[in-house]
Structure 1
Amino acid sequence: MLRLKIYQESAHFRMPTIGTPYLSYPLPPPSTVYGFLRFITDYRSINFENTKLSIQGSYKGVSFEKERLILDTKKELKTNIIPIQKLHRCEWIIHIKSPHEEDILNAINNSSKVFRLGRKEDLIIDIIGEKVEEMRFNKDENEYNKNMKIYTNWNKENTINGSLFRMAFDTVVNEKKEIIGYKPINLIYTNVRQLSKICKIFDGEYLIEWI
């Protein structure tokens, strides 16, 4: 199992169902993480069918900034000024269980690519990838990081409090590797303290919730 610690000075993960202003998901969506992993490994077949993710993190501030967007239609170029929500001083903790772990770790340590998570302008300032052990979580354990927020799967039996989001789990492609749709998922954004009530695994520092 791998653990990635990612730091970004700013980030935006657009909610496609929201018009103006452009609002951001509070954590990177799974589809964004899968896309990032494919990009850094020269497009290995890393997807929801063979790779598990656990996504958590925190940010220190939020701002709304106006940006000039250009839409290229068949007839003309259209411009618009849109307020965009940005997250600042972001730290993401992403756990990965995959047959491509060695490829991912090698890419993080040796790739000459510029790493981004989200939009092209949302650069990754620092990233640390390391192998960690999956352990059983003791509910009385006090030595885990309690400051993070995390995604967990939503179901009718789930008693965790938090914000429910419907988002893209991963892209769906055809034989030509063209994106033809998105596989949706319902995730709750909650505090790790809430998750500790039902969490069964951790790595000695962070709780893990596979989605």
Structure 2
Amino acid sequence: MAQQVLRIKIYQSDAHYRIPFSYQRRFTYPIPPHSTVKGLICNVMGIKSSEDEKFINLKQGLSLAIYGTYESLVKEYLWFRNLEKDSHISKFKSVKNRTVDNIPNHPGGQMPVTVDVLHNVDLIVYVYHPELMEEIRQAFENPSARLSILHLGRAEDWIVIKEIKLIDIIKDNVSQLSFFAWIPSPADIDDELIPDKENYEKFYTQVNGNLFRLPIFYEITNSNQRIFNRYIEAKLFEKGGFRKQSFYMDSELKIPLFFAKLRAD
């Protein structure tokens, strides 16, 4: 059993973690899914592709636990533009035309979209890897190899890292959690980081939360499409209480740790 895990505290003034298949009204999860946090880790470590040796090592042992709160949710009204040829013709009736009612317009078609945006988001992300945890910690402390500005969700949703720390974990009883959290299914929980698998199965059956099937790994096709091929199931816990249970916990913050194992196979 792991004795230590990496704790990363993150602040975002604005954030949108898009729920797939929401289009004209783009809904957001209250906390980022595991694939989004995995993408941040790849960013800080400078991992450019799935063929990278670091990525191959990362996906063989990475486990994540994600928690968070936000102050408010605001609906932003935007125009999304489609620059495909057919979309332009549908609006302007000709490839060369750029005017409507004798007024010049931007090319392509456009659609009004509502985007849910979270304000003043505080996240706590726990990372465990049997081999790379120290390397991940150093990458966050000095992200000199990063591929882009550090963000979660949209590219414009920059993050502020408030803390990076290796912390001890302890076993204790708990019946309350004041954060949004992903609670992985018994098939996707990291068995090394729960005291008792059978009791966890009972807890998972009884705990409140909407069930989601979350993508975690994908492949890029020859036509440059992203096809997800590995999923986990998790409940989204929305703060509150549950039947008292024994968990491994953050020894300082007393947060029960629900680590989802992110494995390629």
Q: TM-score, normalised by structure 2?
A: 0.69
Aligned to 1:8, which of 7, 12, 16? 12
Please give the per-residue CA displacement for 1:63-113, whole angstroms capped at 9, x wherever unaligned.
100123233436554332210001111011111101222222112211255
Q: Which amino acid aligns with 2:232?
A: I
Task: Considering fraction of residues, name the structure with more helix.
Answer: 2
Contact 1:164 1:188 in 2 (8 A): yes
Contact 1:65 1:85 in 2 (8 A): yes
1:172, 1:197 → 2: CA distance? 37
Match of 1:24 in 2: 28
Please give the per-residue CA displacement for 1:119-146, whole angstroms capped at 9, x wherever unaligned.
1011103342110112112348xxxx84
2:209, 2:120 → 1: CA distance? 22
2:228, 2:85 → 1: CA distance? 22
Q: Which amino acid aligns with 1:126?
A: I
Q: Gapped runs of 5+ residues in structure 1?
A: none
Match of 1:185 in 2: 232
Bigger Cα Rg? 2
Please give the per-residue CA displacement for 1:36-86, whole angstroms capped at 9, x wherever unaligned.
101110113165541000011111111100123233436554332210001
- SS of corresponding position for 2:66: strand
Q: Is 1:171 paired with 2:206?
A: no
Contact 2:221 2:227 in 1 (8 A): no
Residues 95-106 of structure 1 mapped to structure 2, 5 A cutoff: 95-98=126-129, 99-106=131-138
Q: Is 1:210 paired with 2:259?
A: yes
Residues 1-211 of structure 1 mapped to structure 2, 5 A cutoff: 1-43=5-47, 44-45=54-55, 47-73=58-84, 75=86, 76=88, 77-98=108-129, 99-112=131-144, 113=146, 114-139=149-174, 146-154=177-185, 157=202, 158-168=205-215, 170-173=216-219, 179-191=226-238, 193-194=240-241, 197-204=244-251, 205=253, 206-211=255-260
1:195, 1:4 → 2: CA distance? 25
Q: Percent same amino acid among aligned pairs?
A: 23
1:171–1:132 distance in 2 versus 1, CA, 3 Å = same
1:183–1:72 distance in 2 versus 1, CA, 3 Å = farther
Please give the per-residue CA displacement for 1:139-192, whole angstroms capped at 9, x wherever unaligned.
48xxxx842121102468511012222222x1223799x843242222111145
Mean alpha-carbon deviation: is it higher for 27-36 or for 113-122? 113-122
Q: Gapped runs of 5+ residues in structure 2?
A: 48-53, 89-107, 187-200, 261-265
Deviating runs (4+, > 6 A) in structure 1? none
Deviation at 1:2, TM superposition (A): 0.2
2:179, 2:150 → 1: CA distance? 23
